[in-house]
Amino acid sequence: MDEFVIHNVRFYDYEPRAIQCMSYEEESYRLALSRSDGAIEIWNCQNRPFLQLVLPAESDASVEGLAWCDGRLFSVGLHGYLIEYDLSAVGVKARYAVTGGPTWCLALSPDKKSLAMGTEEGYVCLFDVGSDDVLYNKTLEKQEGRILSICWHNGGNHIVTGSINCVRLWSLMDGRVTRCSFVHNKREEIIVWCVAILDDMTIISGDSRGSVCFWNGTLGTQTDYVQSHKAGVLCLAVGSDQSFVIVAGVDPTIIRVSLAQTGGKKGRRARWIPTVKLRVHTHDVRALAFTNEGKLYSGGVDTILACSSYPPKVVIKTPTPLYPGYVSLGRQSDCVLLRYKERLELWRLGKPRVTGEPQEMFHAIEEDRQKLVELHCKEGESIDWCALSPEGFWIAYIVKGHLKILQFFPPTLDRQVSIRRVRALSKEIDTSRQVMWLGEEQLVSVTTKGTIQFITISDMEATVESTLTPRSPVQSLASSQDGKVLVVLDVNQGVTAYKLESGQEITLPKYSSPVVSLCVNPFTYDVLIAYSDSTIKEYSLRTKKYTNFSTNFLPSKRVHNGLSQLVSAVRYMSYDLNNGTLIFLHDDSSLLVLDSAAVTEYDDRYMPPNKITRGNNKSNKQNISGSKSPTRNSNIGRLIAFPRLHQVLFFSHIRDKNIISVEIDPVALHDQLPPMLKVKKYGGV
């Protein structure tokens, strides 16, 4: 194997946002979560959780409640609208105004026919979910104080809401309201952040005192009280058999409160008892979702999505991965385009001083990295996508669905950097949500209508060359290096390959797990697909079969190797452009290199992957602080893993013998977060 120079990009200030609320759909294993900037992420949790889709935030976006209803996603926010999303078009489908202004909470009825939401002014609004739309049903009697939390009883006839200083139980049939009041002193009000109701009409509420209260719903009296936390309880989740609830909040300890029979001879009495404690998060936990499989998803201010289960105690933490369309490479150049919310930055990577004797782990830098261009969009607008052409001469980006194309002239000895905008855009170009350069002056755009448009630029004029209409809406794209093969992943997890020259369309076989990432071999046009159960398959377009490499070596359910031991799903894959034998892939915490040539030579000889990993640990540890270093991995076959301390956002091969790895330091990320709850610890800091 050749030696490569790794460019460690650590100047990218990627800012993940706090998780605001969550909703889990059991049928499709999908978890919707909203971030504090209003963006909604759809995670697929069928095997290893991975980010499937991002609904970008709008300028006034605010998400306070999320609900799934038969694959449809609804949200409410402080803007006072109920929003239905179109997941295939990645956008808002419809908005419905809610009576009572800013809306704090959303709940779906157990029969999945109605939505209830609580508002600032004290109204509870009910909407009926139709087959294609949502209809306003009624508004319940106005009550004092804002409604912060809402929950629907499994019988369907009762709604419980949490307000300030009280919890109310609404009977929908007879319109009666039972009020459960807290005993409190006048100065300090008790905010009920979360409520739930069990089948036996036990109301559970979590409040700003850090306590969980249990109420008899029919009588409106408090039956039990657990002071579980030191600060406000923000969220609770009810266990599947209703024998326990899970609570967390400003005090980030996740506590399971279980129902225990404690009575004696004189009469059995059930009591709620805090039992299992889980310290996963460092900051406020804002949202919890408990699945029927016994998994608990939790997220909060520390931006980490944690998946835990008990017993036994297992915790998997997933940091926020890079959203698609944030980092774009000119793979023939040495430029990288970094996207921020309101600006783009084009950087040229540094050059190492190669002495020919790579005994040191870090190269001296001959020429430092250079920021070539910084592009800002108009105020109030945000950039949704960006792409850099392979040679690095063209930049395309999307603002509010409108495609913008720039020609870029890199600096030379006698010339400054200059940029020219392509102003003549053909009217046929539709609003777009995703673009990709196939080559210089040729790009492909996924329109909001679901079609794929091929756009060429000639004489600073962009025209639509052809349009392709796939059967299902497009989720993501990949192309070969020369732009001759385009591979499309649709929302139904079907993968279709298009040979652009011949117009041939090849549908790839389906697999049980969802697709995480795909790429095309630059020479053989083999399509490599990674699935969320850590299976990777290589499909040859020529023979229309899985390749030898795929069937013999690549991890599948039968064969386990280093890949299947990864905790998180593969985030991104790419082939090397020199021979197409190396595959570069990464997950959140490690870089992996797969050598298909070495495997085909000794495909029977299985080398234990963890041994290889260990052998490379040493050299890698010294790598961490350096920006550039060669990787010494000659003569070692198959899969090489480099565990990294930092979170790996992006890892790919660019030009010649260079690899780029975009990483962020979790400690630096932690420093950006607001201060955490101070808890006095014995003997600790």
Q: Residues in the site for other proteins, rule: CB under 8 A?
A: 226-228, 258, 260-265, 271, 273-277, 682-683
Minimum CB–partner distance for residue 241 and other proteins (Å): 11
Minimum CB–partner distance for residue 214 and other proteins (Å): 13
Q: How many whole angstroms separate alpha carbon 313 and alpha carbon 319?
A: 19
CA distances from 523 to 20, 518, 529, 540, 576 (A): 45, 16, 16, 11, 10
Minimum CB–partner distance for residue 255 and other proteins (Å): 10
CA distances from 515 to 455, 489, 491, 528, 543 (A): 27, 8, 10, 11, 22
Q: What is the DSSP string of 510-549?
A: P-SSPEEEEEE-TTT--EEEEETTS-EEEEETTTTEE-HH
Minimum CB–partner distance for residue 167 and other proteins (Å): 20
Q: How far apart are the first and last CA of the chain?
A: 48
Q: Is the CB of 271 or the CB of 400 nearer to other proteins?
A: 271
Minimum CB–partner distance for residue 270 and other proteins (Å): 10
Minimum CB–partner distance for residue 275 and other proteins (Å): 5
527-531/65-69 β-pairing:
unpaired
Q: Is the CB of 274 or the CB of 350 nearer to other proteins?
A: 274
Q: How many whole angstroms separate alpha carbon 192 and alpha carbon 179?
A: 13
- Name the phi and psi angles at 314, rounded to 5: -130, 130
Q: Is the CB of 245 or the CB of 435 nearer to other proteins?
A: 245
Tokens of 651: 């890892």
Minimum CB–partner distance for residue 308 and other proteins (Å): 17
Tokens of 681: 């610890």
Tokens of 83: 């929003």
Q: Is the CB of 502 or the CB of 682 nearer to other proteins?
A: 682
Q: Is the CB of 157 or the CB of 275 nearer to other proteins?
A: 275
Q: Is the CB of 157 or the CB of 262 nearer to other proteins?
A: 262
Starting at the edge strand that comes first in sequence, how are the strands of the sheet with 485-490 ordered?
474-479, 485-490, 495-499, 504-507
Q: Is the CB of 178 or the CB of 308 nearer to other proteins?
A: 308
- Name the phi and psi angles at 621, rounded to 5: -60, -35
Q: Is the CB of 142 or the CB of 277 nearer to other proteins?
A: 277
Q: How many whole angstroms separate alpha carbon 58 and alpha carbon 9?
A: 29
Tokens of 30: 């999908």
Tokens of 338: 């970094």
Minimum CB–partner distance for residue 683 and other proteins (Å): 7
Q: Is the CB of 221 or the CB of 262 nearer to other proteins?
A: 262
CA distances from 620 to 57, 123, 409, 572 (A): 38, 59, 37, 20
SS3 assignment, position 172: coil
CA atoms within 13 A on the CB side of 605: 9
Q: Is the CB of 226 or the CB of 468 nearer to other proteins?
A: 226
Q: Is the CB of 261 or the CB of 635 nearer to other proteins?
A: 261
Question: Which 8-state DSSP code applies to residue 627?
Answer: S
Tokens of 269: 């009495």
Minimum CB–partner distance for residue 277 and other proteins (Å): 7
Minimum CB–partner distance for residue 623 and other proteins (Å): 37
Q: Are 217 and 169 in contact (CB under 8 A)?
A: yes
Q: Is the CB of 224 or the CB of 284 nearer to other proteins?
A: 224
Minimum CB–partner distance for residue 204 and other proteins (Å): 16
Tokens of 187: 């100065």
Minimum CB–partner distance for residue 262 and other proteins (Å): 5
Tokens of 379: 């105020």
